[in-house]
Amino acid sequence: MKVVVLVKHVPDEAADRPSGTEASGTKVFAPDLTIDRGALSCRLGALDENAVEQAMRIARRRLDVQIIAVTMGPAGAERSLARALALGADEGVHVRDDALHGSDARATASVLATVVARLGFDLVLCGAASSDSGMSVVPAMVAEHLGVPVACDADAVWVGEDEVLVRRDADGFVEEVAAPLPAVVSVTERADEPRYPSFRAIVEARHKVLRTWSLADLRIRPETVGANASATVVRSVTPHPGERPAVLIEGASDVAAARLARYLTEHQLI
C-alpha cells in the first residue's frame, strides 16, 4: 500500500516575528500581500504531523506500507519535509518552482494532484486545514482532480483491504463514513497525536530519499499556476489587534458586576 501525505511549510505561530514588518500575528506579507515565508521562522503544519502519525499507525498494522511526504513551497520547505521524514515517512518530494509563487488553493490542489498521480497512491492523508490560511478546501480539491472519494475532518481512520473508514465528530454526534480505496482523507487534531521523533530517527531521516521536482519535471505549464493563474487575489491585509492586558475586577458581586458591564461597554465588547 502506498500512502501519500500532503504536508505544508507554515509560519511558526510560537516564534517571534521580525520587527519592522507588516504582519498579522506572525504572518509577514510580501509586497504582493502573499506570506513571505523567507522572512519567517516556519515549521511543519501541526495537523500535518497528525497526518504523518496516522500514516505510521496504518504502517504498524500492515507490512506493505510505503509513506511518501509531499510538499509544495520555497527552498525552506525542505525543513518541513525533513521533519516528516523524522516522524516516519519513507521518502519526500518537494515541488519547488519560482512560478508557483502566489498560487491559491485551486492552483495548489492542481499541482499536488499531479504529483500524487505521478507517484501512484492507495491513500492520500493530509491535515484538515493549514494554520496559515485555514481554508480546508485543498483535500477535497485534490480528490476532485484525482477522481476519487474524499472524507474530511476525520478524528480516527481505519484502512481495510479495499476501503477506508473514518469517524468524526459532526456537531455533537459521531459520524462514520466509509469510502472505497483509493481515497483522500483529511485528519483533525483529535487524530493520533504525533510522537516526538527520537534522535536516531532524526539522524536516519537525513539518509532518506528527498526528491525535488520542478514544474518542468511535472510537465505543468508555468502560466497555469502562480499568482497570474489564481482564481483569488488578496486586495488588502489588516493587522490583527494585539491581545488586551488582563483586567482584574474586584469587589462585592453587585459592584463587580457593574464594573464588568461598564468595562465591556467602554471597550465595545458587548
Domain ranges of the chain: 2-229
What is the torsional sign of CA 187, 189, 192, 198? Answer: positive
The answer for residues whose C-beta is within 8 angstroms of residue 166's C-beta and 6 or more apart is 151, 154, 155, 156, 157, 158, 176, 177, 178, 179, 185
Phi and psi dihedrals of 10, rounded to 5? Answer: -120, 155
Cell 510538499 belongs to 71
User: How confident is the model over 225-269, as pLDDT tens digits?
Assistant: 877 777 777 777 776 666 666 778 887 888 888 888 888 887 766
Q: How far apart are CA 193 and CA 156, in angstroms?
A: 11
Q: How far apart are CA 44 and CA 89, in angstroms?
A: 13
* DSSP H or E segment with residue 186: strand 183-187
User: How confident is the model over 24-61, as pLDDT tens digits?
Assistant: 444 577 777 767 666 667 888 889 999 999 999 999 98
Q: How far apart are CA 180 and CA 148, in angstroms?
A: 9
Taking the domain 2-229, which CATH number applies?
3.40.50.620
